[in-house]
Structure 1
Amino acid sequence: MTHLDRDTLALVALAELELSAAEREHLAACPGCSGELDALRRTVLIGRSAGSVDLVTPADAVWGRIHSALGLSDAVAAPPRLAGLDLAGSALAGSEPARLEAARADQNPAAPDPAVPDPAAPAPADRAPVTYLRRRQRTWVPVAAAACAVGLVGGVAAGAWWQSTSAPAPETVIAQAQLDALPGWTARGSALVEESDDGRREVVVDLADDAGADGLREVWLLTADATGLVSVGLLDGSSGRFSIPAGVDLAEFPVVDVSAELADGNPAHSGDSIVRGTLNTL
């Protein structure tokens, strides 16, 4: 099987896509793909932990460069103001470009458009009358913004409908563990493994509030002697649910470990474990 592409790994890191059994098997056996996924998950976690972002209104010169690059007309030379745009398009008449076009028409109402001959003028005797179509006024920025906004609203609505109508597959708890603090930590928690009817397995981790909420935390499955390990994802908050790769045998990797990690891009275990516990099969 070829390597997983970056777009697929990015969707997995965002929890927007679930891999097939063959893809999970490849991910478990491929250090390159698993390392790439770990790096993307770290990026997602860092982005989500950054808090709110203040949006800054761009300078008028920014629109000037866009205007020049696209070769737009003087009617849309002024920076657009789209804050009051109606998603249904009813506010387009009040947008900046439309107001400019209307103002220009009011200032010179009698000036004919040289590109649109007067339909009332008599046609030459040797020619049949011709009906001309008036050129449509270009409102590039408002229409594009309206289309993007409507698409965004439609996407959100579709996502909400899908989540409300899709039911998760029944799951059975097949193993559980108590997570105890390692030296230097006072945390505690629990872990359990759930298996769905189609064979997918997930480890569910719940930690107490004192389990190192600051910084990155990563969930691992270890061998009993801690000489082998598999990362299953980054823990965001006090609890999380992580897919177990299809090729991982819990009899060989029975230990659940949560480590404190640095945001240094290194996918290896930091060596600083917060809690750890051994799964007991039910």
Structure 2
Amino acid sequence: MTHPDPDHLVLLALDEQRSGPGDTAHLDSCTQCRDELEALRAVAGLGREAAAETALPPVSESVWDRIAAETGQPSPVAPRRRGFPRVARYGVVAAAAAAGAIAGTLVVTGQDEERVVAQAQLNRQPSAPDGASGRVRIVDSGSGSLRLKLELTGMPAPAGLYEIWLYDGKTTMIPLGVTVGTEADVAIPPNLTLQAFPVVDVSAQQLGQQEHGTSMVQGTLRG
């Protein structure tokens, strides 16, 4: 079986190309490519959701240097960071979404009352040190858009960074954003549902690592 070129799958996910009869036939029979395309579309949704956010405060040069290191792009990162650039590789799609999430943590929100719609206690996984744990709240500030707020406890400073994932509990994990500290506040794209992705996972990642790294804490969201 000949699989489609990875670049072609990315362009399909971004609606940059139309799928042909050969694509449809292959995706109907190939679970691997079908799952990858679905994951790419979900990550693309992250970029589109982030592009809608405007009026961001200035971000320091050191933050853009870190984003450049994580994405493998030259520093400084171009100011059009909130948009979703045309890309030719799956890893850049995920990295772009992560870069948008880093910038998103710097947004100063208003004083609207937040409503907690789900939460989870994140439990230590075998690779994490004793005492590691976390807490997640999914909040709705009143606009209908959801954000994931993370607090980590007992976690060592990462060699690279920690990445936050939503997991369907089976085969698919969607990256939401990254943190190098003990807290994070990242957007949940509107095309994802907590019913379909009820598990929150925080993994240790090396800089530039695109696939899921080593799970450190994990828990299931409850309403």
Of 139, 155, 159, the residue aligned with 1:194 is 139
CA contact (8 A) 1:179 1:277 kept: yes
2:219 corresponds in structure 1 to 277
Q: Does 1:169 align with 2:112?
A: yes
The TM-score normalised by the length of structure 2 is 0.54
Q: CA 1:250 to 1:39, structure 2 compared with 1: closer, same or farther past 3 Å? A: closer
What does 1:1-282 correspond to in 2, within 5 Å? 34-38=93-97, 40=99, 167-185=110-128, 186=130, 187-208=132-153, 210-215=154-159, 216-225=161-170, 227-263=171-207, 265-270=208-213, 272-281=214-223
The Cα of 1:42 is off from its aligned counterpart by: 9.9
Structure number with higher relative contact order (C-alpha < 8 Å, ≥ 6 residues apart) = 2
Q: CA 1:18 to 1:275, structure 2 compared with 1: closer, same or farther past 3 Å? A: same
Q: List structure 1 runs of 4+ shifted beyond 3 angstroms.
A: 1-5, 11-19, 30-34, 38-44
The Cα of 1:32 is off from its aligned counterpart by: 6.8
CA contact (8 A) 1:39 1:267 kept: no
1:158-189 Cα deviation digits (max 9, x unpaired): xxxx96xx724332000010100111322111
The Cα of 1:199 is off from its aligned counterpart by: 0.7
Aligned residues with identical type, % of pairs: 29
1:211-241 Cα deviation digits (max 9, x unpaired): 132321101110123x111111002311111
In 1, Cα distance between the equivalents of 2:194 and 2:174?
11
In 2, Cα distance between the equivalents of 1:204 and 1:257?
13
SS of the aligned residue for 1:280 comes to: coil
In 1, Cα distance between the equivalents of 2:166 and 2:217?
12
SS of the aligned residue for 1:37 comes to: helix
| C-alpha RMSD of the superposition | 4.0
The aligned length equals 148
CA contact (8 A) 1:41 1:234 kept: no
1:57-113 Cα deviation digits (max 9, x unpaired): xxxxxxxxxxxxxxxxxxxxxxxxxxxxxxxxxxxxxxxxxxxxxxxxxxxxxxxxx
CA contact (8 A) 1:191 1:203 kept: yes
User: Aligned AA for 2:124?
Assistant: A
User: Aligned AA for 1:248?
Assistant: L
Q: CA 1:268 to 1:41, structure 2 compared with 1: closer, same or farther past 3 Å? A: farther
- Judging by fraction of residues, say which structure has more strand: 2
1:88 corresponds in structure 2 to none
Q: CA 1:39 to 1:222, structure 2 compared with 1: closer, same or farther past 3 Å? A: closer
